[in-house]
Structure 1
Amino acid sequence: MTKKTWLPWLILSPSLLFLLLFTYFPLVRSVYDSLFDTRMAGDAAPYVGMGNFLRLFDDAVFWQSLVNNLIYILLTVVPGVALALLLAVALWENHRVNRWLRTAFFFPMIIPMVSAAALWLFIFMPGMGMLDYYLAKLFGPMNNNWLGRSNSALYALALIGVWKFAGYYMLFFLAGLQSIPVSAREAAMMEGATPTQIFFNVTLPLLRPTLSFVVTTALIYSITQIDHVAVMTRGGPDNATSVLLYYIQNLAWDTNDLGKASAATFLTLAGLFAFSFINLKLLERGAHHER
């Protein structure tokens, strides 16, 4: 075996090792654990086959968590990506003011989600919070329990998700905009295209590879980032903000039902893989262009 053959594998070996240990092994282990009823006792857990999956499908809280998560995805991915693209286009020019604004919009990303949740708890505080304070100036005294009502709690959590990650997605769009050939936009301008036509017919199609990556990343974050759920609502009220990962966490930690939690984990990962695969295939169709 020549050096040209084994050197790339040697360089990649640390990444492959971590990928195996922290991605593929947990997936295989979740499939294995889902076949046993761990509510009994440790190594003596009986084999139940698909029993954990059947119990999972009979659980109304699971289905509610699934619906909540789908709603949360729509409330965070679509507005978050759209806002990030808008910010990237607005701050495309590389001058001092725009550099400061980029930093300001990116700042929420460096705040840990637990700290961000604590901050927003004060904003959503009924009557005394910043949100009710400014709404009271417009509409009179307010005492809205935004996190305590089932019809508003999930929207409040989604707002935090958009606020935290939109600036992060903006950076990817800025990089994508910088990679677009200037000649493509100049040719459209010479043909008399308006700025709106240039954006939708030239810029946006050439951004499809970046858009594909950002949407996939946003989808993953919308499923895996649950710290604010644990800090602010604990899945309440009445499971209105219980999402899949928080539901799985409760199964594993609070009820010690590892088999059922593993079944839910496997289905969540399988769904996430399917969503990501379909998204990449749809958005990358016709995405490549000559540089």
Structure 2
Amino acid sequence: MAVRRRLALPAWRPKGLLGLALLAPSLVFLGLFTYWPVLQVLWQSLHAEARRQTVFVGLGNYRALFADPAFAAALVNNLVYALGTVVPSLVLALGFALALSSSTRLNAALRAILFLPVLIPLVAASSLFLFIFLPQVGLLDHYLAKLGVQGANWLGDPDVALWSLMGLTIWKNAGYYMLFFLAGLQGIPEESYEAARLDGANSWQRLRYVTLPYLRPTLSFVAVIALLNVVTQVDHIFILTKGGPSDSTNLLLFYVYQQAVERYDLGKAAAATVVSLALLLALSATSLRRMERRTDAEEAR
């Protein structure tokens, strides 16, 4: 009786070759359009243009950057802008999600209305708000005058302009964040609410001890997205204020634009980009790390 021998696979065959082949296109595009530009910016931040030649200056661009009062003002403006937009946007988005969590036709229509600003490009929304914020003749001042209130110079007053941009940002992003909270609410077990009701918990207690703990991962994720939008959205600055008046609305990304395009200081612009990216990565990593720790602690319980 002939014995059939099994053909052994070559020992040198990589086990993850198929997975690597499937990931190769994405890795190529990720390297070309993400990591390579980052390396270019890092290289540019260490060099400067002198007599049409690129000269290595080390940390000279960073020293000039931190000595620039305009950069310090842009950094402070961005922090104020972040606090004034992220927190109200998340609170409004969570309130909208809680109010519209049940599946009814009316709630579906209201969700669509609240999500409508997300569909409007930021440039178009900024042009719309330009007419709303016009002093004396704008839509906002028109209705304030009917109430006997005199409107401010919404875009021309250094004390008011940044807050006007915050209102536009909150209006634009709250509906987008609402979708994430709606999805998070769908994942909360109904048994948890029933147990809280049996224990005599009121609406506020159910929100505090049931809803919010379950929504912590969602909240951390949405907070990271909100921080990304704060740093990367700058179209409304171009349309409405150009960083003014008196640099009161000059944010970090618009500062980078000024250094690169208006003053042709590519090294300083690259240094500002690196600093902005480092701050953003630090904030994102901190938020995600807290989310992981809370998730691990809840699972340990």
TM-score (structure 2 length as normaliser): 0.91
Q: Which amino acid aligns with 2:110?
A: L
Give CA deviations for 1:202-258 in whole Å, capped at 9, x if unaligned: 110011110010000000001100000011000000110000000001111111110
1:132 touches 1:143 (CA, 8 Å); kept in 2? yes
User: Residues of 1 paired with 2:288 and 2:36: CA distance?
Assistant: 24
Question: Which residue identity is paired with 1:120?
Answer: F
Point out where structure 2 has 5 or more consecutive residues left out of the alignment: 1-11
- The residue aligned with 1:226 is 234
Relative to structure 1, is the Cα distance of residues 266 and 236 closer, same or farther in structure 2, using a 3 angstrom cutoff? Answer: same
Code of the aligned partner of 1:273: L
Aligned with 2:67 (options 43, 58, 61): 58
In structure 2, what is the Cα distance between the partners aligned to 1:223 and 1:107? 23
Instruction: Tell me which amino acid in the other structure corresponds to 2:68.
Output: D
Q: Matches of 1:17 and 1:189 in 2, distance apart? A: 53
Kindly provide the CA deviation profile for residues 138-177 of structure 1, in whole angstroms up to 9, marking residues without a partner as x.
124x353210010000000111111001000000000010
- 1:142-221 maps to which residues of 2 (within 5 A)? 142=150, 144-221=152-229
Give the match for residue 258 of structure 2.
Answer: 250
Counterpart Cα distance in 2 of 1:177 and 1:30:
41
Question: Retained in 1: the 8 A contact 2:126–2:240?
Answer: yes
Paired residues of 2:259 and 2:265 also in contact (CA < 8 A): yes
Structure 2 CA distance, aligned partners of 1:149 and 1:276? Answer: 33
Check whether the contact 2:47–2:56 (CA below 8 A) recurs between aligned residues. Answer: yes
**Contact between 1:212 and 1:284, CA under 8 Å: does it hold in 2?**
no
Q: CA deviation at 1:6?
A: 2.9
Question: Alpha-carbon deviation of 1:4?
Answer: 6.4
| CA RMSD in angstroms, aligned pairs only | 1.6
Please tell me the residue identity of whatever aligns with 2:202: T
The structural deviation recorded for 1:14 is 3.1
Secondary structure of the structure 2 residue equivalent to 1:237: coil
Distance in 2 (CA, whole Å) between partners of 1:4 and 1:198 is 50
Runs of 4+ aligned residues of structure 1 deviating over 6 Å after TM superposition are 1-4
Secondary structure at the aligned position of 1:45 is classed as strand
Structure 1 portions without partners, runs of 5+: none
2:114 to 93, 105, 108: 105
Alignment map for 1:116-135 (pairs within 5 Å): 116-135=125-144
Percent identity of paired positions between Structure 1 and Structure 2: 48
CA contact 1:205–1:287 (8 Å) conserved in 2: no
Offset at residue 58 of structure 1 (A): 1.0
**Greater displacement, 31-40 / 259-268:** 31-40
Counterpart of 1:26 in structure 2 is 37
TM-score scaled by length of structure 1: 0.94
